[in-house]
Structure 1
Amino acid sequence: MSAVRRVEPPCDCAAKDGASDPTVIFENKYEFCGYNLKIARFINANLGFSAYVWEAGVALCRYFEKQNASFTGKTVIELGSGTGIVGILTTLLGGEVTMTDKPNTLKQIENNVSINIPSACRHRINVQALTWGEDHARFPTNYDFILGSDIVYSSVSYPALVETLCHLAKQGATIYLSSELRKMNGSPYFHDELLPQHFNCQRSAALAGCLRPPTPLTDGRAHGADPSTTPPGEPGLLEGLIRSPGTLQAALLIGSASPPRALEDAKYPDRDMIGCSSL
């Protein structure tokens, strides 16, 4: 992965609204499944953690790469898209993708869509605001796949997230959740106790094998980490790629009412991904 930093002056419309600060944008380059992705991150746009590429998202992209995944002809919705890296790759792999996040994050996602998705494929991608537990009912219930990477991070949001997942998967969907388990926010409880009340699911340590170890610097940061943009207490793996205090070990494949099915992990004996079904 390589990275560049650029600063854009405020546009005329922003100046009229009283916003005079230039936009600081970091661009990170990745390669998955033969596609070169350029992911822009709006650093000073008050996006919080949405302005970072989290390792759970990168791991999910590498999982799709190792599985030779294809989403051709499939409908997909991504929750908490952030920078959009997972949803963009899923679109390039053939999916009809709806990417969602809070309203203030949509501009960043739309920017990355415009950079990475060819115009001939734009009709297969849609960016919308979605607030869990509030306006999820306006979305369909017949998606083939639901994606989420590092969206299990705040215990306050767990009931709303479960309510949203149950609605979106009502007619049967396979859910891919790539998560870091952190005791401090109760994410193990979410995966081990809360989700099983609604879905038959099993946790896997498989995604950890989809990460490439960083080269540490003498101060403990990874090579390429940008200390000015790394959240306090969140040591960077690489510039824009953040490892939070936890263990990346949850990959939940939550299916429909059909029997659980393995997802061809026999090709990867070190993996233990298991399909699951809803109750």
Structure 2
Amino acid sequence: MENSKKKTSSLRWGILRRALINNKSSTTQQHSDEQSQTSISRKANRSFALIPFRVVDQLENEELTLAKAKEACVCYTLPDTNHTKLFIYQRVDNCANLDDFKICNAYDIDNTGLVCAWPSEEVLAYYCLSNLDLFRSKRVIELGSGYGLAGLLIAAATEALEVVISDGNPQVVDYIQRNINANTSVFGGTKVKSMMLHWNQEELSDISNSFDIIVASDCTFFKEFHKGLVQTVKCLLSKEGPSEAIFFGPKRGNSLDEFLIEVKESGLQFTIDEIYHTEDEV
């Protein structure tokens, strides 16, 4: 009789253990590790379909044939008169990657930006699309951008003066730059660049007080980053004229409440809007 399959949680703990002790395993053990990793699922994207999109077929884009099944290119079509298209390259691995955890340990960050395009990013992008005038002629930065859908949409559709798309994970920033390069033809006169930005970074003098608008989605989940995130927001907002930070995300337990305590203690003012769209079931 075959042994029962290892629980997914056990497999994940095994990966974490190896990342922490950095043990040089034998060839046999490495082979076993690889088999275990293929049994660990990654979170799949759950889109709200607020912006029409499709996965680009490999035959349509030669670059995709190099990555094959490990990457995908998603094409979003904006509902403007020109039907502007945005191409977003992203990882679609169906297993955990030990190297990802090693980079997280080295940079004191998480790897959520690589996992998928999160629903909150899509909602933020849709909000930006519905409020184009808010960003016109403004300097904008997106924090914790992941693959950068919202930042790219702002650059393509709002006539913003400048858009910086940032993340603290160097692997994610590589994807952001790749996605910027793939969409330069639709940015018009908007200056767009990627940036590696850690929220606990002490020195931000080059970009301090530079931005009229900060946008972010689902960035308040990790409580250990709350203080650094609030200080980053306070440092980046322009002191000349009105400026604001727009955050989107689910509550995720009491994480949002604790983040708002940090915001209040920093002296920043804030308002909360809870907007739910209901659908009648047939």
What TM-score do the two structures reach when normalised by structure 2? 0.62
| Deviation (angstroms), 1:42 | 2.4
| Deviation (angstroms), 1:120 | 6.5
| Residues 205 and 31 of structure 1: CA distance in aligned 2, closer, same or farther (over 3 Å) | farther
Q: 2:181 aligns with which of 84, 105, 114?
A: 114
Matched letter for residue 31 of structure 1: T
Gaps of 5+ in 1: 11-21, 216-279
| Residues 120 and 100 of structure 1: CA distance in aligned 2, closer, same or farther (over 3 Å) | closer
1:3 is matched with 55
Specify the structure having the higher radius of gyration (Cα): 2
What pairs up with 1:44-193 in 2 under 5 angstroms? 44=93, 46=100, 48-51=111-114, 52-69=116-133, 71-92=135-156, 93-95=158-160, 96-102=162-168, 103-118=170-185, 121=188, 124-134=191-201, 135-169=203-237, 171=239, 172-183=242-253, 186-191=255-260, 193=261
| Deviation (angstroms), 1:70 | 5.0
Q: SS of 1:133's equivalent?
A: coil
| Residues 167 and 73 of structure 1: CA distance in aligned 2, closer, same or farther (over 3 Å) | same
| Deviation (angstroms), 1:128 | 1.2
Paired with 1:113 and 1:125, the residues of 2 have a C-alpha distance of: 7
Percent identity (aligned): 19
Q: SS of 1:132's equivalent?
A: coil
| Residues 62 and 150 of structure 1: CA distance in aligned 2, closer, same or farther (over 3 Å) | same
After superposition, give the CA deviation of every residue in 1:161-203 in whole Å (9 maximum; x if it has no partner): 011011112515211111111116x223213x22122222111
| Deviation (angstroms), 1:139 | 1.7
* Contact 1:42-1:108 within 8 A present in 2 as well: no
Q: 2:78 aligns with which of 2, 13, 32?
A: 32
* Contact 2:163-2:190 within 8 A present in 1 as well: no
Report how many residues are paired.
198
Q: 2:272 aligns with which of 195, 203, 209?
A: 203
What pairs up with 1:192-271 in 2 under 5 angstroms? 193-197=261-265, 198-206=267-275, 208-209=276-277
Gaps of 5+ in 2: 1-52, 59-63, 101-109
Q: SS of 1:127's equivalent?
A: strand
Matched letter for residue 119 of structure 2: E
* Contact 2:129-2:153 within 8 A present in 1 as well: no
| Residues 5 and 187 of structure 1: CA distance in aligned 2, closer, same or farther (over 3 Å) | farther
* Contact 1:38-1:116 within 8 A present in 2 as well: yes
Paired with 1:119 and 1:5, the residues of 2 have a C-alpha distance of: 21
| Deviation (angstroms), 1:43 | 3.5
| Residues 136 and 179 of structure 1: CA distance in aligned 2, closer, same or farther (over 3 Å) | farther
Paired with 1:36 and 1:27, the residues of 2 have a C-alpha distance of: 12
Paired with 2:208 and 2:177, the residues of 1 have a C-alpha distance of: 21
Greater RCO, CA 8 A, separation 6+: 1
After superposition, give the CA deviation of every residue in 1:212-234 in whole Å (9 maximum; x if it has no partner): 97x9xxxxxxxxxxxxxxxxxxx
- Report the aligned-residue RMSD: 2.8
Q: Does 1:42 align with 2:96?
A: no
Q: SS of 1:118's equivalent?
A: helix
Q: Higher mean Cα deviation, 101-110 or 31-40? A: 31-40
* Contact 2:177-2:193 within 8 A present in 1 as well: no
What TM-score do the two structures reach when normalised by structure 1? 0.62
Larger strand fraction of residues: 1
| Deviation (angstroms), 1:155 | 0.4
